[in-house]
Amino acid sequence: MSPSTPKHGTIEAVMAHLRTLDDLPLDGKRVLVRVDFNVYVGDDGKVDSTEDFRLTAAVQTIQELQQRRCKVLLITHLGRPKNAADGMDMAPIKRRLEQLLGEDVRTIGELYGPGVQSVVDGMEPGQVALLPNVRLDHREETGNLRFAHELAHNGDMFVNEAFSVVHRAHASVAFLPQEIPSCAGRRTVLEVEQLSRLIDNIKKPYVALIGGAKITTKIGMIHDLLGKVDTLCVGGQLANIFIAALGHYPHKKFAVDDIAAAQYILERGASKLLLPIDLVVGDEEGKNLEVVDVDSIPPDADGLYDIGPKSLELFLRRLKEAKTIMWNGPIGKFEVEAYAKSSRAVARELATMSAYRVVGGGNTVNMLEEEKVIGKYDHVSVGGGAMIAFLEGKTLPGLMPLYD
């Protein structure tokens, strides 16, 4: 693989080496655009305005390619299908995309081969087509070079407009752009530019708020953040692991490796960590709720599902002092409404603050959509894992082929 993502020097220096739509002769070409339309489809079988953030994020690039008379071929994944029968229904995504673009989107029944070529040859300049779920071919997730080569035959140029998956070494993400001339889409460029502001010349005080489930998936980011932030607020299951590591909740509730990771971090960065001081306990369905102080948690509590009102006030007070804020991951069991109150309150309060605010993580973004505050933040990243990997300075296989 290529070396790690360029991250030294100023933002301007890093951005200067990232190829964009301005750097390729795209006009009139067949352009493969890797998007991430892996969005939630409601019970009504529709993708509505509270579920379409990843679609809207790609619209600028799609429309620019249309204006340049390109034949635009969209490649996306949808879930993790085991076979064609459970490959998910792309029709709701197609319908929502047509609403956003204001015109028809063609569908192609195959991912590669003569049938695809026939459809593409019959397309008019400026038309948009949607290929099947790319994960229907098992070679996608294994990073198969042959599959990347077969996909490359569909187009002349490649554009990555799926920042959310650039941390994955999948065929259509990391290897397809090595087959044909490639560049970053407008949204991908924006992601790199805005997230770089959390690495270079950060305005202080810098306060980060992170949630999520497993500490082992975020330990690298936590270490990195502790070297940059003034305060690291921790919520969600992540906070519960720290609380257990401090002896306030039984260790047996968590994996041994998670407890060990939390203890390691506490030994080295406890002075910057801000943990909950009260919590909401109850059952998985959101019943039998009780708010308890962190040093009074019943040892037989079914679960610690949200931060309490005192913790929420504490977190918000520290966030209001910040000039830079990064939020990744809900701070409660967001999928159960009874445990989503603190996360929703943070979403609303952060929307009113004057600090530079960056938010990422799938569930967090969904919540901003539901609260109708997504447009009030400085930057909302389409990536959760990709955002974490970028901030850690990890190699991003999907970005590397786009750099000079």
Domain ranges of the chain: 11-187, 194-392
pLDDT average, residue stretch 89-101: 94
Average pLDDT in the 311-332 region? 96
Compute CA distances 52 → 64, 97, 156, 286, whole Å: 19, 9, 28, 27
Label residue 88 left, alpha or beta by phi (over 0 means left) and psi (-120 to 50 means alpha). left
State the chain's mean pLDDT as an integer.
91
- Cα separation, 196 vs 192, in Å, equals 6
The strands making up 324-328's β-sheet, listed across from edge to edge, are 273-274, 231-234, 206-210, 324-328, 356-360, 379-380
DSSP string computed for 295-321: GG--TT-S-EEEE-HHHHHHHHHHHHT
- Whether the pLDDT of residue 261 is over 60: the answer is yes
Q: Would you say 279 and 308 are in contact if contact means Cβ atoms under 8 Å apart?
A: yes
- The CATH H-level superfamily of 194-392 is Phosphoglycerate kinase, N-terminal domain (3.40.50.1260)
In angstroms, what is the C-alpha Rg of the chain? 22
Residue 131 has pLDDT above 80, yes or no: yes
Strands 324-328 and 206-210: parallel
The pLDDT assigned to 80 comes to 82
Q: Evaluate if residue 100 carries a pLDDT over 80.
A: yes
3: pLDDT strictly greater than 70: no
Q: In the CATH scheme, what architecture does the domain 11-187 have?
A: 3-Layer(aba) Sandwich (3.40)
* Confidence band, pLDDT 50/70/90 cuts, at residue 2: very low
What is the sign of the dihedral through the CA atoms of 359, 217, 164 and 77? Answer: negative
The percent of residues above 70 in pLDDT, for the chain, comes to 95
Confidence at residue 367, expressed as pLDDT on a 0 to 100 scale: 87
φ/ψ of 31, rounded to 5, equals -120, 120
301 pLDDT above the threshold of 90: no
Per-residue tokens: 375: 């447009």
**Contact in structure between 169 and 141 (CB atoms under 8 Å):** no
Residue 211 token pair: 């949630």
What share of the chain in percent tops pLDDT 90?
A: 75
Give the DSSP H/E element, type plus range, for residue 32: strand 30-35
The predicted pLDDT at position 85 comes to 54
Least confident residue range of 2-16, 105-119, 188-202? 2-16
Instruction: Please state the separation of Cα 324 from the chain's center in Å.
Output: 19
| Cβ neighbours, 10 Å, residue 325 | 25
Phi and psi at residue 339, to the nearest 5°: -110, 15
In this predicted structure, what is the pLDDT of residue 168?
Answer: 97
- Hey, which residues does 160 pair with through a beta bridge? 34, 184
pLDDT at 17 over 80: yes
